Amino acid sequence: MHEVVVAALVREGRVLLVHRSPNRPAYPGVWDLPGGHIETGEAELAALAREIHEELGVQVATGSAVHLCRLDGGRGEESLRVSAWLVSEWQGTPTNVAPDEHDEIRWFRSEELPPLAHGLLGTALEDAMRGARS
């Protein structure tokens, strides 16, 4: 099973998304949450902090992370588990420090969210952002 962790960096009613490079083997040319694979023996929040630093150059405050959802798909060796987290605190300014993985990063309001690589993830994110405004 492939285990992946992703983060929704949320600030002032907007979420930061990354646009996957068109030459990526999985989900090329679509908007997604930043993140990546959990390494063997690594805890989810440790992987989250590492991946976000590698992709956006910021240090997330893992204490601010709230679990958003978990998605499971596929079978056998091709199975995938995606764990998504809402993150409201980090140090630094997010920049695209992984241009081989993403060709753009951009902030979106909930009503502007494009379709994400995993549709159910987009639905959960939109619901969470809408709830935060209430």
The structural domains of the chain, ordered by start, are 2-133 (3.90.79.10)
Three-point CA angle 21, 24, 30, nearest 5°? 50
* 82-113 per-position pLDDT tens digit: 999 999 999 999 999 999 999 999 999 988 99
The alpha carbon of residue 66 and the mean position of all alpha carbons in its chain are separated, in whole angstroms, by 13
Percent composition of the chain: helix, strand, coil (DSSP 3-state, to 5):
30, 40, 35
* 107-130 per-position pLDDT tens digit: 999 889 999 888 888 889 988 888
Whole-angstrom Cα distance, residue 66 to residue 131?
14
Question: Residue 134's pLDDT is what?
Answer: 43
Whole-angstrom Cα distance, residue 60 to residue 73?
27
Instruction: Say what the pTM is.
Output: 0.90
Question: Residue 1's pLDDT is what?
Answer: 82
* 8-47 per-position pLDDT tens digit: 999 999 999 999 999 888 888 999 999 999 999 999 999 9
Within 27-108, where are the H helices?
44-56
